[in-house]
Chains A and B, each alone.
Chain A
Amino acid sequence: MRYMLLIYGNENAMGSAPPEAVTKMSAAYSIYTQAMKDAGAFLAGDRLQPTRLATSVRTAGGKPNVIDGPYADTKEQLAGFYMIEAPDLDAAISWASRCPGAERGTIEVRPVWELQAG
């Protein structure tokens, strides 16, 4: 099954972290990503720019309504994601619990809605 790991964290805290901490975190993420690739679990994944660069779009009566800012103001923000292949939820939870971001933030595990085969 494919699962999406959504990494939520406090981006203000991340933004104001000392450089050593940032280096350490980056190193932890590259090891983690490599482990996923070695295990054949990695499908995609990236870090996102902070929500101050977010734009939210809705259409009302066919017209786009564009607002600067994230969809929802929350204490923790979506900071990145992984798309993984895992045999079951326990395997996905196991990957999520090893994610460096799980220590300070929250990893939401969501199964992918698979399209009908035919």
Chain B
Amino acid sequence: MRDLAEAAARAAAEKAARQSYGKLVAYLAAGTRDVAGAEDALAEAFAEALRRWPKAGIPDRPEAWLLAVARRRGIDAARRRATASAGQAHLELLAEEAEADMHGHHIPDERLRLMFVCAHPAIDPAVRAPLMLQTVFGLNAAAIARAFLVPPATMSQRLVRAKGRIRDAGIPFHVPEQNDFGDRLDTVLEAIYAAYSTGWADPAGTDAQRRDLAEEAIWLGRVAVALMPGEAEALGLLALMLHAESRNRARRDASGDFVPLADQDCGLWDISMIDEAEQILTRAGQSGTIGRFQIEAAIQSAHAARRLTGETDWPAIRQFYEMLAVLSPSPVVDINRAAALAETGNALAALDLLDSLAGDPKLAGYQPYFAARAAVLEKLGRSADAGEAYTRAIALEQDPALRRFLDRRRDRLTV
């Protein structure tokens, strides 16, 4: 019995953590500017919940409970530090607590404000998106390091330094005026997309935290569009995520095996989500400014058109990737551009392009590079080389379904 109660309490605390982590961090930090302090206070509140809830039962509003405990911890910590500035924050916190006790039902959503803090020009550009992933989405430093192809120790150090800077340099918590956005909006959108991609990489939904991440990213994408309805790239990003999400059920077959986009059953796609994505992309197009996310959404839109025409318009997709390579160049764009080249009868040019990337140390451990290379070599009839590339890709992939898929591709090569 005790084990059951404990498991239930743990599950409830973990659920609350996933659903409200970013919201609570943002709300706590908005008053004090102390992001690391907010995270610490919240971590203590979660530990307290795991101790108390099995005995006392799960409270009606776990989020409000966690906030109240985290606040008390935050005040204690502020007392301990007792610096002049922390003392001020302490007073503000006390005032807020009194206020929250009076009508403590509504916790305002400060996440977008926190995201703009993380994207402030006084923060090292390389750490802006990782900082958002940690503070707003609750990803741990190791997972972020993997996503950004940086050693975990380096990433942790950068994150700690950036949080110190927010507190000590006095970076304010507010969403800037539209003409002061500068690069900050791009950084915010990039982080939302990185969160979505991390969640999307777990299609089976076995890892609940990651599944929530994709939903949360789409939700934040909607918040961004609602707050900045005139921003074409915010619209582009939302359209891109909805297109990807619409194929969620088609990405695995009945036995859990990976199904590549080109072989997916269009009947399994979520048509209403595709329709919404198309409407949003059209709205973005009316603004007259083009950007990375709109082009990426247009690529997904071209893939989605297969449900109407029966075939994929590869020449259009190739053109979009060529635009992307100019507008927002990256090795990942080039890998996709190479795949599109190969699909439009230019396998040799595709191989040249992939060869030109071979020296990039970031790609040495990047599975999609070797899988793309293998597919191009296969098209060129160079089975032995293709087999080697598949072997390398398989060794780098962690997802068993993708490994099985790559395995089958390797087996079908005629050596």
Contact = CB atoms under 8 A, between A and B. Distances in A.
A92 B84 contact: no
Contact of A116 (B83, B171, B172): B83
B83 A87 contact: no
B169 A114 contact: no
A3 B168 CA distance: 11
Contact of B84 (A86, A90, A117): A117
Contacts of B122: 89, 93
A89 B172 contact: yes
Nearest to A87: B172
A88 B84 contact: no
A64 to B, nearest CB: 33
A50 interface: no
B169 A118 contact: no
Contacts of B172: 87-91
Contact of B170 (A1, A116, A118): A1
B54 interface: no
Nearest to B85: A114
B209 to A, nearest CB: 33
A116 B82 contact: yes
Contacts, number: 35
Interface in A72-118: 86-93, 111, 114-118
Nearest to A118: B82
Interface residues of B, number: 12
A21 to B, nearest CB: 30
Interface in B82-128: 82-85, 87, 120, 122
A73 B12 CA distance: 61
A89 B170 CA distance: 5
A3 B170 CA distance: 10
B82 A111 contact: no
B248 to A, nearest CB: 40
A111 to B, nearest CB: 5
A5 to B, nearest CB: 13
Interface in A32-72: none
A115 B171 contact: no
Contact of B168 (A86, A90, A111, A115): A111
Contacts of B170: 1, 3, 86-89, 92, 111
A1 B85 contact: yes
Contacts of A118: 82
Contacts of A111: 168-170
A117 B169 CA distance: 19
A93 to B, nearest CB: 8
Contacts of B87: 117
Interface in B117-147: 120, 122
Contacts of B169: 89, 111
B246 to A, nearest CB: 40
Nearest to A114: B84
A116 B168 contact: no
Interface in B156-176: 168-172
A88 B167 CA distance: 10
B83 A89 contact: no
Contacts of A116: 82-84
A18 B171 CA distance: 40
A90 B113 CA distance: 14
A87 B88 CA distance: 12
B390 to A, nearest CB: 51
Contacts of A115: 84
B172 to A, nearest CB: 4
A3 B82 CA distance: 20
A110 B291 CA distance: 35
Interface in B347-379: none
Contacts of B171: 88-90
A19 B51 CA distance: 75
Contacts of B83: 114, 116-117
25 contacts: A1-B85, A1-B170, A3-B170, A86-B170, A87-B170, A87-B172, A88-B170, A88-B171, A88-B172, A89-B120, A89-B169, A89-B171, A89-B172, A92-B170, A93-B122, A111-B168, A111-B169, A111-B170, A114-B84, A114-B85, A116-B83, A116-B84, A117-B82, A117-B87, A118-B82
Given A89-B122, A114-B85, 16 more contacts: A3-B170, A86-B170, A87-B170, A87-B172, A88-B170, A88-B171, A89-B120, A89-B172, A91-B172, A93-B122, A115-B84, A116-B82, A116-B83, A116-B84, A117-B83, A117-B84
Identify the 6 closest CB pairs spanning chains A and B, nearest first: A88-B172, A117-B84, A89-B170, A88-B170, A1-B170, A114-B84
